[in-house]
Amino acid sequence: MSRVYNFSAGPAVLPEEVLKEAAAEMLDYNGTGMSVMEMSHRSKAYQEIIDTAEADLRELMDIPDNYKVLFLQGGASLQFAMIPMNLMKHGEADYIVTGQWAKKAYQEAQKYGKANKIASSEDKTFSYIPDVSDLPISENADYVYICENNTIYGTKYKELPDTKGKLLVSDVSSCFLSEPVDVTKYGVIYGGVQKNIGPAGVVIVIIREDLITDDVLEGTPTMLKYKTHADAGSLYNTPPAYGIYICGKVFKWLKRKGGLAAMKEYNEKKAKILYDFLDESRLFKGTVEKKDRSLMNVPFVTGDKELDAKFVKESQAAGFENLKGHRTVGGMRASIYNAMPIEGVEALVAFMKKFEEENL
Ligand SMILES: *Cc1c(COP(=O)(O)O)cnc(C)c1O
């Protein structure tokens, strides 16, 4: 068996310890004589799995009691619709467009009400986060929407926007559990887990209790009401049961690692190795404004498309997978989520140095 260094933006690398544990429990989970995949979601064993996962997530993120944790399906993209359907009580919301995912959310919201684009960084291919300290927040907006870490472009909010008292809704798919957060600053925090937590198919929604009501957009399907899932403890219908089990194992792994403060420190250390190299390199350069750099997704280019393609090809042959950048940015992107070991980043930088010497 040989494992590569997987720099995929998602689905992405998971902790080896977690994969090994899951493998060991594949045929017989904890004396049940069956795999978690084969288990009733109404069984005692499964109830314990989902309860423990929620409790561990609450501990990791210090989630206050007046927030619900929901394990849902449909990926982050279904939230682009669920959020306006459930939260646009006055039919209006403000969107800050900092990348493709924020733009998709903004476009989807237009189907359900008046979505206002109050700031954008599209003028420079989303290579920065706009100034969000004094935005023209709409008087009737039910919420202000952001995508906190822009997976494709490699930017991250370092300060949350001043929403002038409006509810903040944040897509944290690609920075979930990468550093501590103050949950009380948000109405809703949500993310697909396949970037930083677990297998695709699960989306976690952390939502303030008072926002969960029956007062939703007319015609909202039962399955798309937060209240349906909140009332049923995420077990209204069959949940993505195996995925939640793996998420639970990742939460335990994060706790063993020292929690989110320790993760932040580790992630900063990893990202610094790569960014420091990009800043001194004569061949490679980062594509993002330094102040807005993400700790999780690091896009870079050589400035020459053919050389970029050569790099991607040679890096793959050397055991570095998925370094090709998103088609809208070109070049390369290294996603260095929680589970990417520091040795992977060090090895990548060593490979980039060698490539630079050979190609300058
Ligand atoms: C990947 C991603 C999405 C889309 O996730 P799906 O689960 O595929 O719908 C949305 N937002 C962000 C920030 C992402 O990185």
**pLDDT value of position 122:** 97
Q: Is 162 an annotated catalytic residue?
A: no
Question: What is the residue with the minimal CA distance to atom 12 of ligand 1?
Answer: 173
Question: What is the residue with the minimal CA distance to atom 8 of ligand 1?
Answer: 75
Distance from the alpha carbon of residue 32 to the mean position of ligand 1, in angstroms: 34
Contact 143, 167 (CB under 8 A): yes
Distance from the alpha carbon of residue 75 to the mean position of ligand 1, in angstroms: 7
**pLDDT value of position 359:** 96
Instruction: Look at residues 233, 226, 205 and name the one whose alpha carbon lies nearest to residue 47.
Output: 233
Mean pLDDT of 147-155: 98
Q: Is 171 an annotated catalytic residue?
A: yes
Mean pLDDT of 43-49: 98
**pLDDT value of position 94:** 98
Asked whether the predicted pLDDT for residue 1 surpasses 80, the reply is no
CA 212 to chain CA mean position, Å: 23
Read off the pLDDT of residues 211-246 as tens digits, 9 standing for 90 and up. 999 999 999 999 999 999 999 999 999 999 999 999
Q: How sure is the predictor about 76, in pLDDT bands with cuts at 50, 70 and 90?
A: very high
Distance CA 213, CA 224 (A): 12
Query: Which percentage of the chain shows pLDDT scores above 90?
Result: 98
- Please identify, by atom number, the ligand 1 atom nearest to the C-alpha of residue 10: 1
Question: What is the residue with the minimal CA distance to atom 14 of ligand 1?
Answer: 173
Distance CA 117, CA 112 (A): 15
Question: What is the residue with the minimal CA distance to atom 3 of ligand 1?
Answer: 76
**pLDDT value of position 143:** 98
- Order the strands of the 297-301 sheet from edge to edge: 285-286, 297-301, 332-335
Tokens (6 digits) for 241: 């049961």
One-letter amino acid identity for 98?
Answer: T
Among the listed residues 171, 249, 253, 270, the single catalytic one is 171
Q: Is 305 an annotated catalytic residue?
A: no
Asked whether the predicted pLDDT for residue 197 surpasses 80, the reply is yes
**pLDDT value of position 183:** 98
Q: At 70, give phi and psi (nearest 5°).
A: -115, 135
Read off the pLDDT of residues 297-337 as tens digits, 9 standing for 90 and up. 999 999 999 999 999 999 999 999 999 999 888 999 999 99
Asked whether the predicted pLDDT for residue 46 surpasses 90, the reply is yes
Asked whether the predicted pLDDT for residue 141 surpasses 80, the reply is yes
Q: What is the mean pLDDT of the chain?
A: 97
Mean pLDDT of 83-105: 98
**pLDDT value of position 202:** 98
Q: Which residues are paired to 94 by β-bridges?
A: 116, 144
Q: Could you tell which of 79, 126, 174 is best to mutate to test the pocket of ligand 1, judged by most ligand atoms within 8 Å of the CB?
A: 174
**pLDDT value of position 360:** 87
Read off the pLDDT of residues 339-360 as tens digits, 9 standing for 90 and up. 999 999 999 999 999 999 999 8
Distance CA 110, CA 144 (A): 14
Asked whether the predicted pLDDT for residue 286 surpasses 80, the reply is yes
